[in-house]
Amino acid sequence: MTGRATFRPIVAGEAAWQKQLRDRYTEPAPAVSLDLKTAVVRPITRAMAERVILRYEWLGTLPPVQRYFGLFFGPYLAGVTAVAVGNGTAGAFTAMQYGLERRELATLTRGACVHWAPPGTNSKLVSWTVRLLRELEPGAKLLVAYADSEAGEIGTIYQASGWTFLGPGSRVIEYVSPAGKVYNTRALGATSHDGGRVVARGWAPTRGKDRTAKANAALLEAGWTKQWSNRKLRYCAIIDRDDKILSSRIAAMALPYPKRPTTVAPGGEGESDDALGFQPREEPSKASRRSTTPKRVGIGPTRRKTKEAP
């Protein structure tokens, strides 16, 4: 299989992509108090969420989900989280890993803050997202999130918020178009396009091996390449604290927090400056905090487990 081992490796002295993106903007902060004690987190509309996510989130997209939350300083929106409830964008069997029904799992699919948000904004927003889910989604038991190493992330926000680190996720096969755009196999529809040009017809991975093989051949003949996706780093926060079995299961899965290499610039995710800015009353991971260095390879998670790369 062709492809790269990494997509966006961590470069010494270079901040993560989302931090670099925020640094491009120079507009001054609005004339309002930026005291985190007065900031309010509440549900918002998708249209409001797009104002922040499409500009500041490194993927630049906002999938349709059930819940959007915003952090406000006065009338000004400073941060957004988007949560899919009921397994959401996670794989079809992801909930089973935690002993849950699909409706009991929620996924934090997107999150970003504006460039003028003060240190601690990310952590307070994420922590209050968990609190609001407890109130608004009583059937949800666990919230999972992913730190994408392709974006230079190790999940510092989740660490500052006391989430549990579960290690890297699985990998799947994905395709890279001649234009350089990466497609997960589940994102390729019955007709695949690249820049408006049809390059393969009949792609239907769930409709039989023969049809899938033909579509695979058509993509390769059209100049596409195959590669293994990235293993994103998985974190979780327990929503239903009364579920002792779930709490015990998550505690047994906990791993030490990964740490950013010392040669990399601080504030890489716009998160490291949050660590002392806001400490929520969430139960921290009981795992040791010794440093680990995660492997940094591509894009995940997926709906089903696939054969790992050799």
Tell me the per-residue pLDDT of 193-227, one tens digit each, with 9 for 90 and over: 444 444 444 444 444 555 667 777 888 888 888 88
The string of DSSP codes covering 190-223 is: SEEEETTEEEEE---TTS-HHHHHHHHHHHHHTT
DSSP symbol at 283 = P
CA 260 to CA 27: how far, in whole Å?
29
| Predicted confidence (pLDDT) per residue in 106-152, tens digit | 999 999 999 999 999 999 999 999 999 999 999 999 999 998 877 77
User: What pLDDT, on a 0 to 100 scale, did the predictor assign at position 276?
Assistant: 30
* Residue 159 pLDDT class (50, 70, 90 cuts): very high
What the block records as the tokens of 165 is 């680190």
Q: Has this prediction a pTM greater than 0.85?
A: no
DSSP symbol at 289 = -
Q: Which domains does the chain have, with CATH numbers?
A: 17-171+231-274 (3.40.630.30), 173-227 (no CATH)
User: What pLDDT, on a 0 to 100 scale, did the predictor assign at position 212?
Assistant: 66
- Return the residue matching tokens 């139960």: 283
Contact between 85 and 137 under an 8 Å Cβ cutoff? The reply is: yes
Higher pLDDT residue, 8 or 261? Answer: 261
The type of residue at 35 is D
- Return the residue matching tokens 């900031």: 39
